[in-house]
Chain A
Amino acid sequence: MQFFFEVLIGGLLSGVLYALVALGFVLIYKASGVFNFAQGAMVFFAALTFVGFLEILPGWTGWEEGGRAVFWLAFVLSLAAMVVLAIATEKFVLRPLVNQPPITLFMATIGLTFLVEGIAQGIWGANVRGLNLGIADVPIEYMMDNFNILISSFDVFAAAVAAVLVAALALFFQYTRIGRALRAVADDHQAALSIGIPLRHIWVIVWAVAGFVALVAGMIWGARNGVQFALTFTALKALPVLILGGFTSVPGAIVGGLIIGASEKLAEVYVGPFVGGGIESWFPYILALGFLLFRPEGLFGEKHIDRV
């Protein structure tokens, strides 16, 4: 039983990390109805920019390498880079495509993916980098000593960061003017425009917030596995989370992440050996498809009713 709980808790904590990436998708989908295929590339771009600044800032400023000042300046500059990316995306990709069918916008984000990946490697190079956030990825001793359950302190830290982020975003959407404007734009572009909501500003804001989420996700995943191109693959982990939780729900992303994380780990351990193992890549999709049969809009997605 101890092993079962170990797998379950580990899966839940992994699920929070998936949810962190899924959040970026949800934000943009909520505000613009666009499925942003470039979210994984944004995670890579953000993390690579962050470690890139970490490398060059000590030389520019004379500050201590690995110090707090360099860390926070790199964070702020990376955030600024994500805002610039958001502005550029709105100006060159979204603005010319206003009122085009969603599939057109989706295709545009596929193009954006290649562009962002190329720009990231073009600016910072293709080298794989390590990233140390100062949080040790070691088992929590208390859990090991008392329950013989292995839980990583880093995973708990990441889960806490994700929880704070989700709470902050939920409050932002629910209780701020911008949040309400975002939801209005998500409901109907033209109606939102007619009551004076500036669509372009809203899109820039939401892409910038998604960029911020990508930066946080990139830092956590980068610290876990290294900052490298594979960060773009984190998007693959987010897709079944979105199908399950719904494309428009922030809490849905977190609940979906937990379900996917826990179930894929349990399936790998208890089902995997009977089918040759390595089922983590496809099992979440099967699970998500199963959910789709019963709730096409996902667990927390908005029910879409059309008048016939």
Chain B
Amino acid sequence: MNLKKTVILGAAVAGLLGSSMAIAAEQFIGLPSYRVGPYAAGGSGIFGGWIDYMQMINERDGGINGVKLAWEECETEYNNARGVECYERLKEKGETGNSVFQPLSTGITYSVLDKVAKDKIPLVTMGYGRTDAADGRVFPYVFPLITTYWSQATTMIKYIAGKEGGTDKLKGKKIALLYHDSAYGKESHAVLEKMAERYGYELTKLAVAHPGNEQQSQWLQIRQLRPDWVILWGWGVMNPTALKSAAKTGFSREKMVGVWWSGAEEDTVPAGSAAKGFTAAGYNVAGENYPVIKDIEKFVYAKGHGNMEDKGRIGSVYYNRGVVHGLITVEAIRKAQEKFGKGKALTGEQVRWGFENLDMDDKRLGELGATGFLPPLKTSCLDHEGSGKVKYQQWDGNKWNVVTDWIDADKELVRGMIEESAAAYAKEKGITPRDCSKEM
């Protein structure tokens, strides 16, 4: 073989290898999951749904424009130190590093908040985390997507007002807030107090010490107070305990409204019949009758590749929440590919752009098989929340049923508070907010 032939053959082999490497491009997503420990029930459902969605994209579509999704789980046990360890362990993985970090824990979110901007990895916190991070000017790498606790609190009052016959009927009503005695539980206080000033209802706050498996004294106080409504801002065992205690004290579950971390099967099933009639917020709904879920069953479970050991949990609130995580993550990567090159594995910085330019209107949700499954979402440099809409579901003793359409947050109130809080944070940390008019 002469030199010329060798060079040509070598070039051909190199070309083939190169093309096969291009075909094998993978987008790496690190999953800081928790499948053991105190919150394993929620973690296994959410991460299971999320992984199933990504598996479905690989099986059905061959990835995103040919880029297969690759992932690795790292067990955090919902522990901050382990969460940070997972963040560090995952950030360099994959050919372009970790694309996104979504810890499903407010504590871990706070622990890595300062790191993500430095490492240029988007931190996505759907339905938890730091509310004022919705101001993308101050928090370019943080995305409290869909809706925040503050938005949710305003929809709760809107829901209650709807039941009472209008916001003018709220005057003089008594609303008790039964909350987990933690930063999470206190997150709603300022918003509910501001709304109390505006609408004239009387707000009584009752703290429940962690973990919340004892609520006798709080419910005896509620029995004395005789509120018109109880808002349950609970977490974990606090939720079924509250529902059972409400039944014990004779407080109607129909007059209880829960936060979205109170509104899963894991919260109602342990309470048995005591949970019947309880209503809770959700930024996703329960149910299997959505094309996106049917596709997961068809392309993933029918081939024996499903992540859930208990298939009965498919369509549950937490499972579907995981699907929403997958859906939005994939959409952000797809969006970013439109700008930075289809068929390429992207860096975290590029994926961040995708998260900041999401536009999932009803039409797009329809194409994704998720109409009504989650609210329409449109993010921008200014707005990293993107929606603020919430639906309410009621437990009928066996399953959750949607009882409202998407309820809009009181944007005017919430946005003002977000900007005020973000500006204070920027001042404290010496951050110069981005000029969004210069972003594209």
Chain A residues engaging chain B, CB cutoff 8 angstroms: 3, 6-7, 10-11, 14, 117-118, 121, 125-132, 137-139, 150, 152, 221, 224-230, 232-234, 237, 264-265, 268-269, 272, 276-282
Known: A121-B36, A126-B44, A130-B270. A138 touches B210 (CB 8 A): no
The chain A residue with its CB closest to the CB of B35 is A126
- Is the Cβ of A277 less than 8 Å from the Cβ of B181? yes
B237 within 8 A of A: yes
- Is the Cβ of A272 less than 8 Å from the Cβ of B213? no
The chain A residue with its CB closest to the CB of B40 is A126
CB contact list, B264-310 vs A, under 8 A:
266, 269-272, 274, 309-310
- Is the Cβ of A3 less than 8 Å from the Cβ of B270? no
CB-defined contacts of B213 to chain A, threshold 8 Å:
221, 224-225, 230, 233-234
> What are the interface flags for B221-252 relative to A under an 8 Å C-beta threshold, 1 for contact and 0 otherwise?
10110000000000011001100100111100
- Is the Cβ of B240 less than 8 Å from the Cβ of A225? yes
Which label, helix, strand, loop or mixed, suits the secondary structure of the A interface?
Answer: helix
Name the residue in B213, B224, B271 with the highest tally of chain A Cβ atoms < 10 Å from its Cβ. Answer: B213
- Is the Cβ of A280 less than 8 Å from the Cβ of B271? no
A115 to B: closest C-beta gap in Å: 12
- Is the Cβ of A280 less than 8 Å from the Cβ of B214? yes
A61 to B: closest C-beta gap in Å: 21
CB-defined contacts of A227 to chain B, threshold 8 Å:
270
Report 10 cross-chain contacts, Cβ distance below 8 Å, ordered by A residue: A7-B220, A11-B217, A117-B36, A126-B36, A129-B269, A130-B269, A139-B248, A226-B270, A228-B270, A268-B218
B246 to A: closest C-beta gap in Å: 11
- Is the Cβ of A225 less than 8 Å from the Cβ of B244? yes
Which label, helix, strand, loop or mixed, suits the secondary structure of the B interface?
Answer: helix
- Is the Cβ of B207 less than 8 Å from the Cβ of A278? yes
Name the residue in A3, A117, A132, A281 with the highest tally of chain B Cβ atoms < 10 Å from its Cβ. Answer: A281
Chain B residues engaging chain A, CB cutoff 8 angstroms: 35-41, 43-44, 181, 205-211, 213-214, 216-218, 220-221, 223-224, 236-237, 240-241, 244, 247-250, 266, 269-272, 274, 309-310, 313
- Is the Cβ of A137 less than 8 Å from the Cβ of B269? no
- Which of B35, B206, B237 is in CB contact (< 8 Å) with A226? B237
CB-defined contacts of B36 to chain A, threshold 8 Å:
117-118, 121, 126
- Is the Cβ of A225 less than 8 Å from the Cβ of B41? no
Bound-complex Cα distance A71 to B282 (A): 36
Known: A3-B220, A152-B248, A221-B213. A276 touches B240 (CB 8 A): no
CB-defined contacts of A225 to chain B, threshold 8 Å:
213, 237, 240-241, 244, 270
- Which of A11, A138, A233, A277 is in CB contact (< 8 Å) with B211? A233
CB-defined contacts of A232 to chain B, threshold 8 Å:
38
Bound-complex Cα distance A269 to B224 (A): 11
CB-defined contacts of A152 to chain B, threshold 8 Å:
248
Which 5 residue pairs are nearest across A and B when measured between Cβ atoms? Answer: A226-B270, A278-B207, A278-B181, A126-B40, A277-B207
CB-defined contacts of A3 to chain B, threshold 8 Å:
220, 224
- Which of A117, A132, A226, A272 is in CB contact (< 8 Å) with B207? A272
- Which of A14, A127, A279 is in CB contact (< 8 Å) with B216? A14
B351 to A: closest C-beta gap in Å: 30
Known: A229-B39, A278-B207. A128 touches B269 (CB 8 A): yes
